[in-house]
Structure 1
Amino acid sequence: MTETVIRHPDNHEPVTFTVAMLDWLPWIAPPAETGLTDRQKSSLVDPARSKSAYFRLLARDPDILEARTRTDKDIFFNTATGLPRAERELAAAATSRHNGCIYCASVHARHAITFSKRTDDVKRLLDEGVAADLGERWNAIVAASVALAATPIAFGPAHVARLRAAGLDDAEIVDVINGAAFFNWANRLMLSLGEPATGA
Structure 2
Amino acid sequence: MTTITHVDNAEPTAFTQDDLGWLPWLEPFPAEQLTERHWAGLVDASRSKSDYFMLLARDPDILQFRTKTDKDIFYNTKSGLPRAERELAAAATSRFNGCIFCASVHARFATQFSKRRDDVQRLLDEGVGAKIDTRWDAVIAASVALTETPVAFGDEQIDALREAGLDDREIVDVINGSAFFNWANRLMLSLGEPAPPEKG
TM bin, normalised by shorter chain, reads over 0.9
Aligned ranges for residues 87-166 of structure 1 at < 5 Å? 87-166=85-164
> Are 2:25 and 1:38 equivalent residues in the alignment?
no
Could you tell me how far 1:81 is from its partner in structure 2? 0.1
Could you tell me how far 1:37 is from its partner in structure 2? 1.8
SS in 1 for 2:146: helix
Query: Which of 22, 47, 52 is the matching residue for 1:54?
Result: 52
Distance 2:33 2:109 in 1: 31
Mind listing any 5+ residue stretches in structure 1 that lack a counterpart? none
SS in 2 for 1:15: coil
Query: Which of 6, 29, 32 is the matching residue for 2:4?
Result: 6
Q: What is aligned with 1:20?
A: 18
Q: What is aligned with 2:175?
A: 177
CA-based RMSD of the aligned residues comes to 0.6
AA in 1 matched with 2:110: A
Q: Scaled by the length of structure 2, what TM-score is found?
A: 0.98
Could you tell me how far 1:133 is from its partner in structure 2? 0.8
Distance 2:80 2:132 in 1: 21
SS in 1 for 2:79: coil
Could you tell me how far 1:50 is from its partner in structure 2? 0.7
Could you tell me how far 1:5 is from its partner in structure 2? 1.6
Q: Scaled by the length of structure 1, what TM-score is found?
A: 0.98
AA in 2 matched with 1:183: F
Distance 2:46 2:2 in 1: 27
Distance 1:126 1:68 in 2: 26
Distance 2:126 2:93 in 1: 14
Distance 2:33 2:87 in 1: 33
Could you tell me how far 1:35 is from its partner in structure 2? 2.4
Which runs of structure 1 show a deviation greater than 2 angstroms over 4 or more consecutive aligned residues?
32-35
Could you tell me how far 1:146 is from its partner in structure 2? 0.3
Distance 1:122 1:161 in 2: 23
AA in 2 matched with 1:95: T
Could you tell me how far 1:186 is from its partner in structure 2? 0.1
Distance 1:29 1:14 in 2: 22
Distance 2:166 2:112 in 1: 21
Distance 1:37 1:95 in 2: 34
AA in 1 matched with 2:138: A
Query: Which of 186, 189, 197 is the matching residue for 2:184?
Result: 186
Distance 1:199 1:53 in 2: 15
**Pairs aligned (count):** 198
Percent sequence identity over aligned pairs: 68
Query: Which of 193, 196, 199 is the matching residue for 1:198?
Result: 196
Could you tell me how far 1:19 is from its partner in structure 2? 0.3
